[in-house]
Amino acid sequence: MGKSLYLGTYAGIPIYVHWTFGFVVLFIIYAAVTQGMVLSSVLWFSAYVLSLFVCVIFHEYGHALAAKRYGVITRDIIISPIGGVARMEAMPDKPWKELVIAIAGPLVNVVLAILLSILFYVIFEEDFISADFELLPRDFESFLGLVIIINIALFVFNLVPAFPMDGGRILRALLAMKWGRVKATKIASIIGRVLAVCFIGLAIWINHPTLGFIGVFIFYMATMEMQQVKLKGKLIDADLSTIMEPNYTMLFSTDTIHKAIHFYKTGVARNFLVFDENQNPVGALPELFLQEYMQRSDVAEDLLLRDIMSSSFGYFDSRENLETVFTTMNQEGWSIAAIKNGDQLLAVVDRHMINSFLRA
């Protein structure tokens, strides 16, 4: 995440402001100096800019709370100068659930625009559309009108059918209802990249660097999304038996670290299960542990694995889907897991085996 400022946790979801948000403050100062703003104008302009990001936070909470309804956990919401992102651990497999999550954010902006329009009418006794105000706020009336426009703009802009924008995810969810997630993502990704190229071309034509940056960002994210879905499709279609290792090396809790390092250096395995005297798994020895001890010069000759092994490992049934194995190991932080058929230990699977399969 890098250096971020923690703002608090609401509805169980922490909010952070990325350090690059400081550029927004610099932008406000720059605008104030170059435009010759008086203090009151600077304050209204600052409130206007900050209100944009408050609306973005509400937008992201729309996604997060809709996801929570379907059991999808949102790790956090991060606000940066280019917008916000709700980082979710996964997306639901049902396309219609993804559709609800994707559209929930823009709908929040619609609700905000309607409520603020009513407030505007109640206070000023006129429609905000017919109100006379400039692009920069100078009083509460112009400020409120511009905040309404912000929410309308967020709604319209996010419906552009290009990843990672909501419109691209809505399009992908609709296509997935008929053609499945992989093909739907491929189609949506192509559309997103075409639109991104159009944005870049338009940015060059009208000399608009921000639009060009958005186009590059959309093109990159659409490409990455396609790659991720392809990998997920490969995992879903794979049989766990094709990558698990039945001829695994057994290390015991009474073995020394030097024995484990020897096995690692000779290429026997990257990650190891550690067994007790009854040949039951009791721990794990991840590759990162071994690399750390290999770099140290103060490792005792008689250092036993039971004193340094990790307790982080798990079990899978031999019939388990490889995509489930991959997701669970990432979520739990397991470097290696045992494959069982009933009570019988058949094989092991580790991160290196899965990553080698994905790269093949």
- Reported as a single tens digit per residue, the pLDDT across 228-273 is 778 877 887 788 888 899 999 999 999 999 999 999 999 889 999 9
> Which residues are 339's β-sheet partners?
316, 347
Share of the chain above pLDDT 90, in %: 33
Helix axes 166-179, 95-124, angle to 10 degrees: 140
First and final CA of the chain: distance in angstroms? 30
pLDDT at 35: 67
Place of tokens 């057994």: 250
Torsion angle of alpha carbons 30, 32, 34, 37, nearest 10°? 180
Task: Give the β-pairing of 4-10 and 314-317.
Answer: unpaired
SS3 304: strand
For residue 164, whether the previous peptide bond is cis, meaning omega lies within 30 degrees of 0, is yes
Of 36-40, 141-145, 324-328, least confident by mean pLDDT is 36-40
Beta-strand relationship, 251-252 and 272-275: parallel
Query: Is 30 within 8 Å of 69 (Cβ atoms)?
Result: no
At 92, is the pLDDT very low, low, confident or very high (cuts 50, 70, 90)? confident
pLDDT of residue 124: 86
Backbone angles phi, psi at 75, to 5 degrees: -65, -45
Residue 103 pLDDT > 80, yes or no? yes
Q: Is 205 left (phi over 0), alpha (psi -120 to 50) or beta?
A: alpha
Over range 284-308, report the average pLDDT: 88
| Token representation of residue 159 | 């419906």
Using the predicted structure, report yes or no on whether residue 335 has a pLDDT greater than 90: yes
Count CA atoms within 13 Å of residue 98 on its CB side: 23
Q: In the beta sheet, which residues pair with residue 239?
A: 321
- Got the DSSP string for 111-139? HHHHHHHHHHHHHHSS-TTT----SS--S
Give CA–CA dist 139/147, Å, rounded.
Answer: 12
> What percent of the chain has a predicted confidence (pLDDT) above 70?
92
Residue 12 corresponds to which amino acid?
A: G
Treating both helix axes as pointing N-terminal to C-terminal, what angle do 181-206 and 209-237 enclose, rounded to 10 degrees?
A: 170
Higher-scoring residue by pLDDT: 177, 221:
177
Q: What does the pLDDT read at residue 181?
A: 80
Alpha helices in the chain (DSSP H): 22-34, 39-69, 95-124, 140-158, 166-179, 181-206, 209-237, 257-265, 287-295, 322-332, 351-359
Contact (CB, 8 A) for 231 and 358: yes
Contacts 24+ apart (CB under 8 A), 339-348: 339/240, 339/244, 339/315, 340/315, 340/316, 341/317, 345/281, 346/244, 346/246, 346/318, 347/244, 347/245, 347/246, 347/248, 347/318, 348/244, 348/245, 348/248, 348/273
Could you tell me the pLDDT band of residue 27, with boundaries at 50, 70 and 90? low
